[in-house]
Homo-oligomer: A and B are copies of this chain.
Amino acid sequence: MGTTKTEIFNEQQNRLASVLKALAHPARIAILQYIVKQNSCICNDLVDELGLAQATISQHLKELKNIGIIKGNIEGTSICYCIDSQKWNQIKLELDLFLKEVEIPSNCC
């Protein structure tokens, strides 16, 4: 009990839910927006930018990295994170498909 019963859902549903979950936190949204804004890659300017502890930021970065949205390159003593364009495009397609898939049937209610 307490665990999501992934066995009873299909691949698409589980994958979609995972991606959405990875995005479903304001800090992770802020991180993505910050990476985009900076144009060039950034590291833990995020700790200053957002008001979260370094350990917390690192954890959020890890989640984004796990799902594949971002990737990190070692750059001297710091690490440069950026969006994995290939993965992001893939995710974008998948989410877009879902958004379009949920179309409103005739006005039943």
Decide yes or no: A29 and B52 within 8 Å by CB, A36-B103, A80-B109, A96-B96 being known contacts. no
7 other contacts beyond A4-B25, A20-B20, A33-B101, with CB at 8 A cut-off? A5-B51, A17-B26, A23-B24, A39-B106, A40-B106, A88-B104, A95-B95
Copies in the complex: 2
Q: In the complex, what's the smallest C-beta–C-beta distance from A50 to chain B, in angstroms?
A: 6
How many positions in chain A have a CB within 8 Å of any CB in the partner chain? 54
Interface check A99, CB cutoff 8 A: yes
Of all chain B residues, the one with the shortest Cβ separation from A104 is B85
Residues of A within 8 A of B (CB): 4-6, 8-9, 13-14, 16-17, 20-21, 23-30, 32-33, 35-36, 38-41, 50-52, 71-73, 80-83, 85, 88-89, 92, 95-96, 98-99, 101-109
